[in-house]
Amino acid sequence: MTQVLDFIRFPFKKKINEKMLFKKKKFLFKKDKQIKKINYLIYNFDYLKKTNLPIDKDLYFSSILPLTVLNQNYLKKCINIMKEKKIRNICLHPYLQNIDNKKINFLCKKRNVKLFKNFNFIIATAIGTKKIYKINPLEVAFRVSETFKNSKIVLSHFGGFKILEAINLMKNNKNIF
């Protein structure tokens, strides 16, 4: 039986209210198997700030970490919002967020280890686009796993076509899944 379904809400063409975004129905998988838990990934941090997330033992929420402002106070403010909203997982999408060496160095400062305590990371590791040689999602995953050793690091997209590199990272870093 499937235990958790990752679920991303994409924009709708017509106007909807917030209740519709989080309306929970029985999601069915392969006809007879019911999905137990749903993880919503929230890409819009501004939306996260102003909405009240429903409290439900079968719903989990993940949020993209805004890295547009590289300022320690701003980072602390974002983390506090995530804690208030009971966010468990932080998503990093190196291609969408343009996570270069400057951003990863800022994120992986030693003083941030305590700040990110009790969070797990989901890192989009698909490889492609014209940023293929500028942005390296697996390097981001490696740096995060080395800095935040007590956090679980999930490689979404399993490294794209660099699957062997992703497997090697998982073998050598016990906190990468």
DSSP 104-146: HHHHT-TTHHHHTTT-EEEEE----STTTTT--HHHHHHHHHH
Two structure tokens written together for 32: 């007879």
What pLDDT sits at residue 9? 46
Q: What is the pLDDT along the chain (177 residues), one digit of tens a residue?
A: 344 445 554 444 445 444 554 454 444 344 345 556 777 888 788 888 888 888 877 778 889 999 989 999 999 999 999 999 999 899 999 988 999 999 999 999 999 999 999 999 999 998 777 887 888 999 999 999 999 999 999 998 888 778 899 999 999 999 999
What pLDDT sits at residue 19? 52
What pLDDT sits at residue 1? 38
Beta-strand pair 37-42/4-8: parallel
What pTM was estimated for this model as a whole?
A: 0.79
117: left (phi over 0), alpha (psi -120 to 50) or beta: beta
176, 155 in Cβ contact below 8 A?
yes
